[in-house]
Structure 1
């Protein structure tokens, strides 16, 4: 299936960077379908789960729109990409502003950057949220990384990060005072803490790879 014919469902739960993601998809030749209706999203070829905001609020918004079950099914049945908070919500739970249950699609939890660790090598105090360009260090060969240079810069903005409970799902890491999980891969599911839609030509390359990905072909093959 070519990017020109693929229909990409973008989950709308009232929060997130929907239109920047949709604009990137359309630029790459795909057909972006932004919707909060599971029945409409189910007609698409692949799914992007974007996210900006607080974990608990986003989970509540998913439940209010009756989208939680759809996300769980879609993440197991078609090429699926989680972005930023959309990645975090796939986990078992989060400690953001209290304890919140996640969708439980990937094992692990979302935790804050520890205050005692926020010290740069040159003595500077690192700010939270972590915002700006940072290197993505690939740990696996994956179709979405095809043509994406090792240690390429991507755009991040987040105050919490994922601590995966299964090392084999870790696909890439970045550094902010210490190494943290920046991407995960499991079967037809791929998720990023960074924002490929805001990461220039490199981010577009990754999104273009997603538009042509069949959900298989080499996920979790260690470099």
Structure 2
């Protein structure tokens, strides 16, 4: 039995993530950890997140999750970031007037802008709803997921796909952006797999089976 830890730092409803994990890994233990001590003995780590980046960073730093995450990165433990959980791993975000993030990935998170157009049509921000993800690389986390599958997004800030060696998946919404990034034992998605029907459940199942290697 594996211990799958979902970090709870007060940002977003984590029960949908935990519920989805319990469906794809019924024999494993799923723990919502509010302290690093509760994450002790983890085999896998999930960093979710919904909300403003400044609040997310404060909520993540306060309980001591930064040293925990760094130890997990260094140990090779499989790590999954979801939505703002992906963005806090970036170098910075334009949200809240500019916020320094964890810098695990060197890219920034940028604002889509108010005047966003595609094919002459004005696009609403936040980007909310289903969109196709083109797999940029062959990766175990994409196993049994058809290229171009639709996933569910809710976000106003994006990580650029251009000149981004970490990109694992790409989506278009007025601009090409990173739907997923990866480096070594980290895989992070801008979309919400727990809200993305069969493709999302398959990605979570792949995470449960992933050994942390590309």
Of 7, 10, 13, the match for 1:11: 7
Tell me the secondary structure at the aligned position of residue 144 of structure 1.
helix
Give yes or no for the alignment of 1:32 onto 2:30: yes
Query: Compared with structure 1, are the counterparts of its residues 92 and 35 closer, same or farther at alpha carbon in structure 2 (3 Å cutoff)?
Result: same
Tell me the secondary structure at the aligned position of residue 75 of structure 1.
helix
Aligned counterparts, 1:114-193, within 5 A: 114-116=113-115, 118-121=116-119, 123-163=120-160, 167-193=164-190
Aligned counterparts, 1:13-162, within 5 A: 13-29=9-25, 30-77=28-75, 78-116=77-115, 118-121=116-119, 123-162=120-159
How large is the Cα RMSD of the aligned pairs? 1.4
Structure 2 unaligned residues grouped into runs of 5+: none
Tell me the secondary structure at the aligned position of residue 96 of structure 2.
coil
Structure 1 unaligned residues grouped into runs of 5+: none
1:183-218 per-position Cα deviation (integer Å, ceiling 9, x unaligned): 0010000000000000001100010000011001xx
Query: Compared with structure 1, are the counterparts of its residues 65 and 165 closer, same or farther at alpha carbon in structure 2 (3 Å cutoff)?
Result: farther
Per mean C-alpha deviation after superposition, the further-off stretch among 12-21 and 77-86 is 12-21
Matched with 1:195 is 192
Rounded to whole Å, the distance in 1 between the matches of 2:46 and 2:170 is 21
| 8 A contact 1:109–1:164 mirrored in 2 | no
CA shift for structure 1 position 177: 1.1
Q: TM-score, normalised by structure 1?
A: 0.91
Rounded to whole Å, the distance in 2 between the matches of 1:96 and 1:7 is 34
